[in-house]
Amino acid sequence: MKYKVPNHVAIIMDGNGRWAQKRNLKRTKGHQKGAEALKKISEYVYDKKVKVLSVFAFSTENWKRDKEEVDYLMDLFIKSFKDNFDAVKKKGVKVIFSGVKEKLSNKVIKAMEDMTEETKDNKNGIFNICLNYGGQDEILNATKKISKDVSNGVINTDDINPELFNKYLFNDLPPIDLLIRTSGEYRISNFMLWQMAYAEFYFPKVHFPDFNEEEFDKALLYIFICQY
Ligand code: FPP
């Protein structure tokens, strides 16, 4: 079967809490299983020739959750960045982050910086982790930077076009071809609004901890069907 593999896949990793609830487990157990699922998926997508994978790890809204859950997630990020992505790094994938550092602890920032530093020269793919991220924030932030550059004479208003605007975002990434949101919710939830202008959307029912290689293949099959 021949089809065009999506260049940039983005995943809203939803349903960790419901996965745990169904099994009478704490929500944090769901996040732990979600981290395991992400480890496997992040290894698999690049084998399928996807070039960019973006994931929604933590939104600017997520600070409203119970302190216990937020603390657990932050520790899980640190641990995962240290232990879970060796295979991705070995494949020559560059790890980057989108979002703001504000409110993040020094330990989390250090773990993020270690990952980016270690993989900065990698050329075989990009793993974009959206952490403390909001799509509207990203657009506003870019707009402020552009307007400063206009005021300082670095660029002219007439030069502003989508390509230029893209360069002012947290990262200058290609457009999203396929957006997957697990757990059966049909919402975008302020994720990569600019980048998903032309994306195909796929909403599998499975909760993220159960999103595996087989489920990813189904998403690719869906894209294949959409192309005809
Ligand atoms: C949404 O599910 C999930 C999150 C807010 C956290 C996502 C985090 C992971 C998958 C852990 C690993 C991540 C990295 C980057 C190492 P939810 O808790 O809102 O689920 P619910 O809607 O069922 O309550």
Per-residue confidence band for 2, with pLDDT thresholds at 50, 70 and 90: low
Confirm or reject: Cβ of 28 under 6 Å from ligand 1: no
Average pLDDT on 167-187 reads: 97
Q: What is the pLDDT of residue 198?
A: 96
Predicted pLDDT of residue 4: 81
Catalytic positions: 14, 62
Kindly give the distance from the C-alpha atom of residue 114 to the centroid of ligand 1, in angstroms, as a whole number.
22
Helix %, strand %, coil % of the chain (to 5):
50, 15, 35
Dihedral over Cα of 165, 167, 171, 175: its sign: positive
**pLDDT beyond 70 at 175:** yes
Q: What is the 63 CA–ligand 1 centroid distance (Å)?
A: 13
> With 60 as the cut, is the pLDDT of residue 100 above it?
yes
pLDDT at 216: 98
pLDDT at 1: 54
Cα-to-centroid distance, 109 and ligand 1 (Å)? 19
Q: Which of 82, 83, 76 is nearest to 31 (CA)?
A: 76
pLDDT category at 49 given cuts 50, 70, 90 is very high
Closest-CA residue, ligand 1 atom 24, reads: 17
Distance of alpha carbon 36 from alpha carbon 18, whole angstroms? 16
User: What is the residue with the minimal CA distance to atom 12 of ligand 1?
Assistant: 35
Three-state secondary-structure class, residue 59: strand
**Residue 29 beta carbon below 6 angstroms from any ligand 1 atom:** no
Tell me, using a 6 A CB cutoff, whether residue 99 lines ligand 1. no
- 50 phi/psi in degrees, rounded to 5: -70, 140
- Establish whether residue 57 lines the binding site of ligand 1, counting it when its CB lies within 6 angstroms of any ligand atom: yes
Q: Is the pLDDT of residue 228 over 80?
A: no
Q: Tally Cβ neighbours within 10 Å of residue 134.
A: 20
- Number of the ligand 1 atom closest to the C-alpha atom of 35: 12
Q: Which residue has the tokens 């206009």?
A: 150
> Residue 226: pLDDT band by 50, 70, 90 thresholds?
confident
- Which amino acid, one-letter code, is at 155? I
Does the pLDDT value for residue 3 go beyond 90? no
- Please check the confidence at residue 23 and state whether its pLDDT lies above 60: yes
Residue 35 CB less than 6 A away from ligand 1: yes
Residue located via tokens 């609004």: 193
Has domain 8-226 been given CATH number 3.40.1180.10?
A: yes
Q: What is the pLDDT of residues 199-216, one digit of tens each?
A: 999 999 999 999 999 999
> Hey, what are 120's tokens?
């900065």
The 10s digit of each residue's pLDDT in 28-38 is: 999 999 999 99
Residues in the chain: 228
Q: What angle do CA 30, 13, 57 make, to 5 degrees?
A: 90
- Residues forming a β-bridge with 181: 12
Residue linked to tokens 């302020």: 190
How many angstroms is it from 17 CA to the middle of ligand 1?
7
The residues spanned by each domain of the chain are 8-226
Residue 182 CA to ligand 1 center (angstroms) comes to: 10
18 lines ligand 1 (CB under 6 A): yes
For residue 56, list its beta bridge partners: 12, 130
For residue 227, what pLDDT is reported? Answer: 74
